[in-house]
Every structure is written in structure tokens, then in C-alpha cells.
Amino acid sequence: MALKVARRGRIPPFIVMDVMQAAAERVAQGKDVIHLEVGQPSTGAPKGVIAAAHAALDSQALGYTLAFGHEALRHRIAGHYRDVYGVTVAPERVAVTVGSSGAFLLAFLAAFDPGDRVGIAAPGYPCYRQILTALGVEPVSMPVGAATGFQLTVAALDGISDLDGLIVASPSNPTGSVLAKADLDALIGWCAARGVRLISDEIYHGIVYGASVGTAAGAVDAITVNSFSKYFSMTGWRLGWMILPESLLRPVEVLAQNLFISPPTLAQVAAQAAFDCGPELDANVARYARNRAILLNDLPGAGFDVFAPAQGAFYLYADVSRHTNDSEAFCRRMLAETGVACTPGVDFDPAEGRRFMRIAYPGTEAEMAEAARRLRAWKK
């Protein structure tokens, strides 16, 4: 008799990982791939972080830290909010996590019970939806588009009831759209007035192009999530953090103790140096901006000329409806025929994503120019 397999493992896949697998298979066949599917910096950690890691390996035993992380790192993170946003955050409210993925898991477990309903934008990061579903929490998909700048707004929420939580992301994955500070403040107020737990995904902060962004870290009841993966270019180090409300400190702490014991110690020690590496990190952002300019200039020649507002992160969310109504098949064919890998929009929006694909541009300028050249030739 076959043994039981729990239902929580039957969630849909994270499709970008399947695209990465298809790209790897193409490389194994001796063919090249231009990676526009992967949402991670192509640069490694900044030099100061690498130096700090070497020093720690030579001098420290690197045992467990407390569940909420190394005290010195928590103080550096709190100082980051003071220096960048002018917001006072007590270090005691900072929880260092195993990537932002660990932060979302802990936040969802601590804030929501099975059967609760949490609003998410569509398109949006697919793992919100999948983690909530695995935990028995209902994700409530809320379509956003050009009329709202591909962001949730108070006006868009008008008439919505029975929500226990709301997730906002600025800059957004997959669209790159940004919530203005006033709009974020309005959403914070909307949630506070209705007893809705707000979770603000801010992991692409620092990667913006002329837009200004606000943080929810000063809000009394909100959960703010950030990461060392994107702006700080430390994806594989698996380190993120949360700013927690007082009411959730102990619940999240005991969950973290039991699920993770502590975040990776080497990454924590090294990450303290990341806050001193601004010029190197800002140079990465300047390169992303040049990549963005190349694609916005060159892709219309390939028939891709309608995008969500690309104000931040390193993504373009392209409308491909003139070419297909099946973005998954379209991206498979594009990879096979051009070697350019992109992620179909159905990963981010199961309902309307068949008309979109996400283009990630954290690579080199040469790769962006070559990808655009291939796509122009392909669509002639």
C-alpha cells in the first residue's frame, strides 16, 4: 500500500526554477544561453564582505547565534533604517532570517492561521501564493495593471472585506513597479483601520531608477521584510531580515528556534561589512540602469514595446499578447530557437500571465545587447 503524501507538497512549482533547469539542459548539450530568467545579481558579494568572511573563517569557530541573529548585525540593520530612511527601529525588533524566504515563512506562520485570507497582487511573486497555500492560508488574488501602476492601492481595495493580511511589494517582482511613499502610507493606514496585518516586501530597495520608495518599518503593526540578496548582491549567502511588531517578537522567535535554530553564522558576520560597501553596490545599480536602457531601446524592434512601469528592481514585465496567448510555450520556443531564457508570466499571475513574460536584466551590458539582437532577428 502506498504511503500518504501530504497535500501541502502539491502546490504548483516555482516556474522560473523549471526554466533554469531547461536552460541548464541546453548548456549540457553544448549550446549557449543568455540568462534573462534568473532574478539574481550576476556580481558576487562586495569585496568588503568577502574580506570579512575570510577573516571570520580564520579566527572564529562559527557556532550557532541566537535565533534572531548576531547582535552586532541587528544593530547595523537598525542603523541602516536610521541612515537611509530616517526611521528609528529598535535593534530588538530586527530578526535576521535564512533569506527572505525564511522571513516569509516565519511571518506567515506567526501572523496567520489556517483559513485566514491574505491579499496579494497579481502579478506578484509566486512564492507568496504557494507558501500561504501550503500553510492552509487562502491567498486572495487582486489583479493590478496599468490603471494602478501595477501596484495595489487603497482605491483598488475599495469594497474588499474579510482580509486578515495584505502583502505589498515595492519595487515589485515581476513588474519593477514602485509604490510612492504616500501610497504606501495610505495602505498602512487602510490596514490599521481594518485590523489587517500588512507585510511589506522591500527586498529590492536600493535598486530604483529615479523613483522614491518608502518603508513600512516605522509602522506599529506591519511586518517589513528585506534581504541581503538583491542590492547587497549576496543571493547565495541566504540571509534576510524582518522588522517585527512587538506583538510578534516572541511568536516569531520560538518558531525560528524550532525551524532554523539560527541563520548562517558566516553570512551574518560577513554581512556586517555590506553596509560599508555603498560605492561598489551603487555601481552595480548603475549597470542595471544601463542594461534597462539597452533593453527599453532595443526590444521594441523585436515587437516587445509594452511594459509595466520599470521603476525599480531588475525586471521588465513585457506584454507579449501580439505574439502569443500562451507565454509558457512562447518562452520554451524562444529558448530553443534563440538561446534567450525568460520567465513566462503565468509564474506570477496564473490568470492573466499567459499574455506576459518577465525579462531579468542583472547580467552584463553585452548580454543585454546580444539578447535584444537575437530577439530582433527571431521576430523578423
Structural domain total, the chain: 2
- Which of 215, 249, 276 terminates a domain? The answer is 276
Same domain as 255, residue 121: yes
CA–CA separation, 99 vs 280, rounded Å? Answer: 22
For residues 139 and 132, is the Cβ–Cβ distance under 8 A?
yes
Same domain, 18 and 120: no
Nearest-CA neighbor of 233 among 283, 173, 175, 295?
283
pLDDT digits (tens, 9 = 90+) for 94-115: 999 999 999 999 999 999 999 9
The answer on 97 and 30 residing in a single domain is: no
Q: Do 284 and 142 reside in the same domain of the chain?
A: no
SS3 (DSSP) at 9: helix
- Do 119 and 255 belong together in one domain? yes
Four-CA torsion 112, 115, 118, 120, nearest 10 degrees: 130
Same domain? For 332 and 269 the reply is no
Q: How do 94-97 and 240-243 pair as beta strands?
A: antiparallel
Taking alpha carbons only, the member of 74, 140, 137 closest to residue 104 is 137
Give, in order, the Cα–Cα distances in Å from 277 to each of 47, 266, 318.
Answer: 8, 18, 33
Q: What is the pLDDT along the chain (380 residues), one digit of tens a residue?
A: 889 888 888 888 778 888 888 888 998 999 999 999 988 999 999 999 999 999 999 998 899 999 999 999 999 999 999 999 999 999 999 999 999 999 999 999 999 999 999 999 999 999 999 999 999 999 999 999 999 999 999 988 987 889 999 999 999 999 999 999 999 999 999 999 999 999 999 999 999 999 889 999 999 999 999 999 999 999 999 999 999 999 999 999 999 999 999 999 999 999 999 999 999 999 999 999 999 999 999 999 999 999 999 999 999 999 999 999 999 999 999 999 999 999 999 999 999 999 999 999 999 999 999 999 999 999 76
With CA atoms as reference, report the closest residue to 350 among 327, 329, 333, 331.
327
Answer with the one of 212, 242, 276 that is the final residue of a domain: 276
CATH code of the domain covering residue 346: 3.40.640.10
Which of 223, 251, 276 represents a domain boundary (last residue)?
A: 276
* Whether 175 and 319 share a structural domain: no
Task: Point out which residues pair with 318 in neighbouring strands.
Answer: 307, 357
In a domain, 225, yes or no: yes
| 180 Cβ neighbours under 8 A, 6+ residues apart | 211, 212, 214
Assess if residue 29 is contained within a domain: yes
Closest CA to 259 of 93, 136, 98: 98
Domain that holds residue 330: 9-44+278-378
CB–CB of 234/228 below 8 Å?
yes
Q: How far is the C-alpha of 142 from the C-alpha of 118, rounded, in Å?
A: 10
- Does the residue 195 lie in any domain? yes
Asked whether residue 65 falls in the same domain as residue 183, the answer is yes
Same-domain status, 370 and 304: yes
Would residue 1 count as lying in a domain? Answer: no
Same domain, 247 and 328: no
**Residue 2 lies inside a defined structural domain of this protein:** no
Pick the closest to residue 226 from 215, 212, 208, 240 (CA basis): 240
73 part of a folded domain: yes
Q: Residue 3: inside a domain, yes or no? A: no
Same-domain pairing of 245 and 180 = yes
Is 4 among the domain residues? no
Give the three-class secondary structure for 68.
coil
Same domain flag for 202 and 78: yes
pTM of this structure: 0.95
